[in-house]
Structure 1
Amino acid sequence: MAEITNFRGEARAQADNGDNPADDLIARVGERVRRARDRKGIPRRVLSEKSGVSPRYLAQLEAGEGNISIGLLQKVAAALDHKIEWLVGEDDPWTSDALRVADLYRTANSDVQAAVLRTLSPEPMAARRAHRVCLVGLRGAGKSTLGRRAGRELGIPFVELNREIEEQAGMPVDEVMAFYGQEGYRRLEAQAMSRVIATHDTMILAVAGGIVAEPETYNRLLSNFHTIWVKATPAEHMARVREQGDERPMAGNPEAMEQLKSILTSREALYDRALAQLDTSSKSEDESLEELVSLIRDRGFV
C-alpha cells in the first residue's frame, strides 16, 4: 500500500513539474500521426473513415491533446499502414538511419538502387528471384484473372497469397481480419510468403494491394520475385470490382472514389518499385494477357 502511495505521489510530482512521461508520449504519438498522414497525402477525413476514429478525436490526437486508448491507436496505425510500435517508440522514425537510407534508396535512380542491392546482397538478385513472378497492384487491376491465365499459357503454377493465408488460418480472409486484426493478417501474410518462396522456384503469384505498405514483407517480395505492377485507372478499378459482385467499395459510401484515388496516390511510389508495369486501362482481358505473357518472356522472368 505504501508503494502505491509513493508511486502516486511521484506521478503527481512529475505532473506538477511539467515532466510527465505520459504527456510526452501523447505529444510524440500525435506528431507522428500527423506527419505520417501528411507524407501519405491522406486527408484527416479519409483517415477517420479508414480507422473508425472520429475527425474531432484525430484532431485532438494530432495536437497532443488526445489520451487515445491502445485499441483506437492500433486502428489509426493500421489505417496509416504502420505498426503501432512505429508511433510510440522513443526513437524518431524520421531521423533514424534506417528510414533515411530507405528514403534515399526509394528516390535514387535504378543504377544506384542496383548498386546498393549488390552491396547489401552478395547473392545475385536474379538467382534469388529464380523464375518467380509476382503481380502487385490495387484490387480490380486484374492480377488474379491475368495471373491465372498466364500461368496456364506458360505452363507454370499460379498462386494467390490470400488463398495461402486462408489455408493456413482455416478461415476466409474477412474472418482472419475480424479475429486477428490488421496486425495478425500481416503476420500470416509474411508467413505465407515464406512458404511460397520455400516451395516454388517457378510460379506466378498474386498478392493483396496493401502488401506494399508493409516494408519488411514488400522488400522480401521485391528481392525474391520478378515484380510487375498491374495498373488501371481508378474508375476501371472500381468498375471491375463491382463486376465481380463486390459492392463494398461503393455501398453507402458516396466518397468511395475519392478514397480510392487517395490510396492510389499514397501507394504509387511503392508500386513503382516493381521491375515492370502492365497498364490494363481500356484493354480487353485477352489484350492484357497477351501483353503480360510477352512481358514475362521478353524480360526472361521465367
Structure 2
Amino acid sequence: MNTLLDSPKATEGGTELIARLASRVAETRKKRGLSRRVLSEMSGVSPRYLAQLEAGEGNISVLLLQRVAEALETRVEALLAEDIPLEHEVQRIGMLFRQAPLEVQYKVRGLLAPQNPAMLRAGRICLIGLRGAGKSTLGKMAGEALGIPFVELNRDIETHADMPLAEVMAFYGDSGFRELEAEAIERIGARHDRVILAVAGGIVAEEDTYARLLERFHTVWIRTSAPEHMQRVRAQGDHRPMQGNPAAMAHLRALLEARTPLYAKAEAEVNTSNKTVRSSLNDLLAVIAKHRFLAPAA
C-alpha cells in the first residue's frame, strides 16, 4: 500500500524542493564568486557531489547541506525556502539603519514610505484631539482590551528626560520641547510594533512633527463638544481654563475650530460627546477593527 510519501503530490513537492535547492546553491555560489572546487575545499563536500547537487540529481544529507550553507555564508533555510530570503546586503542595511540617528532613520523612512505607506503604520495607533476629549482614558482601556501597550507621549518624554513635564518645558523651551516630541514619536515607533499612543492636543500645529505622526501611526481623532472639553478638564482638577478668564469658552471654541482641519487629517474619528466611557471605548474598538489598524500590512 502506498504511503503519504509515495503519493503523486508528495513526489511533486519533493521534485520542486530538489530543483529549488539546486538553483539556490548554484546562484549563491556564483554570487560569492566561488568555483565548485573552492566551495568543495571550504565545505568538505566533493566537487562531483556539488555538481550533482546543482544539477538537481544529488540526494544530499542534512549535515552535508549544513556544511555547504556555512561555506556559502548563508542559512540552510535560505536554500530551501519557497520565498527568496533577504540577502546579506539587506541584513547589513538593516543593521546600519538601527544604528543610525533618529533623524537619519526618518529620512530613510521618508524615501521608502511612498512605496508602501501602510507598512510604516501597521499595528501602531495614535489618538489625537484637544485635552479633555478622552484620549488617555480610552487609550489605556483600549490597550488593555487589545493586549497591546498604551503610551502617553508626554509621559515618555518625562521618563526620557528624567524630569517632570513642567521642568522639561522650562529647561528646553517651546522649540526644544517640540524637538523632544518628534524624537519621542520616532523612539516609540521604533520600540513598538503594536501600540496605542496618546499625544497632546497641540502637536497637530507642528507641521513637521504632525507629518511624522501621520506617516508612522494610524490616527484616530477623539473629539467632543467645547463644553464637554471644558467640563472634563475641570473635573480633572485643572481650573486654569476658567480662572480669571471669562472669555475662556470663546477661546476654546475658536481653538477647536482652528484645529478641526488638522484633526480631520486623521484616518478615523470617535465622537465621545454625551456618551459613557464604555460606549466610547466600544466605538474606538469598532473603528480599530473596521479599518484593520492592527492587521499586518500587505
Q: How does 1:207-286 map to 2 (within 5 A)?
A: 207-286=199-278
Q: Is 1:200 paired with 2:192? A: yes
Alpha-carbon displacement from aligned partner over 1:91-137 (angstroms, at most 9, x marks no partner): xxxxxxxxxxxxxxxxxxxxxxxxxxx99843311111020000000
Aligned residues: 185
Q: Which residue does the alignment assign to 1:36?
A: none
Name the aligned partner's letter for residue 154 of structure 1: L
Name the aligned partner's letter for residue 161 of structure 1: L
C-alpha distance in 1 between matches for 2:266 and 2:140? 20
Name the aligned partner's letter for residue 175 of structure 1: E
C-alpha distance in 1 between matches for 2:152 and 2:212? 17
Q: Which residue does the alignment assign to 1:298?
A: 290
Alpha-carbon displacement from aligned partner over 1:141-191 (angstroms, at most 9, x marks no partner): 000000000000011100000001111222121222222221111011111
- Secondary structure at 2:269's aligned position in 1? strand
Q: What 5-or-longer segments of structure 2 have no aligned partner?
A: 1-109
Whether the aligned pair in 1 keeps the contact of 2:123 and 2:195 (CA below 8 Å) is: yes
Q: Which residue does the alignment assign to 2:107?
A: none
Q: Which residue does the alignment assign to 1:132?
A: 124
Find 1:166's aligned residue among 138, 155, 158. Answer: 158
Q: How does 1:18-167 map to 2 (within 5 A)?
A: 121-167=113-159
- What is the aligned-residue RMSD (CA, Å)? 1.5
Whether the aligned pair in 1 keeps the contact of 2:113 and 2:120 (CA below 8 Å) is: no
Q: How does 1:178-189 map to 2 (within 5 A)?
A: 178-189=170-181
Q: Which has the larger radius of gyration?
A: 2
- Secondary structure at 2:148's aligned position in 1? coil
C-alpha distance in 2 between matches for 1:257 and 1:122? 41
- Secondary structure at 1:251's aligned position in 2? coil
In the superposition, the TM-score normalised over structure 2's length comes to: 0.60
- Secondary structure at 1:156's aligned position in 2? coil
Q: CA deviation at 1:298?
A: 1.5
Q: Which residue does the alignment assign to 2:24?
A: none
**Greater alpha carbon shift after TM alignment, 132-141 vs 255-264:** 255-264
